[in-house]
Amino acid sequence: MSSTTDKLKGLANEAVGNLKEGVGKVTGNDKLVAEGKAQELKGEAQRTVGEAKDGVASVVDKVTGKR
């Protein structure tokens, strides 16, 4: 997966997770709150992977003289 794809999927998971968590809190549904928090954390991890891939690519480009 490309870094952009990882970052976009991460942001989407964070947003959906945040929404689930909020709905769960409003409705008193602890299971939905937990699912939302888990999805939000998954999204943060995906976004971090994408950012790390960008960082690695930048270093490789500098080392190989592509930038």
- pLDDT tens digits, residue range 2-53? 999 999 999 999 999 999 999 999 999 999 999 999 999 999 999 999 999 9
pTM over 0.85, yes/no: no
CA angle 39–42–48, rounded 5-degree value = 145
pLDDT at residue 62 tops 80: no
- Per-residue confidence at 67, pLDDT binned at 50, 70, 90? low
Q: Which two tokens stand for residue 14?
A: 């964070």
Residue 49: strand, helix, or coil: helix
pLDDT at 52: 93
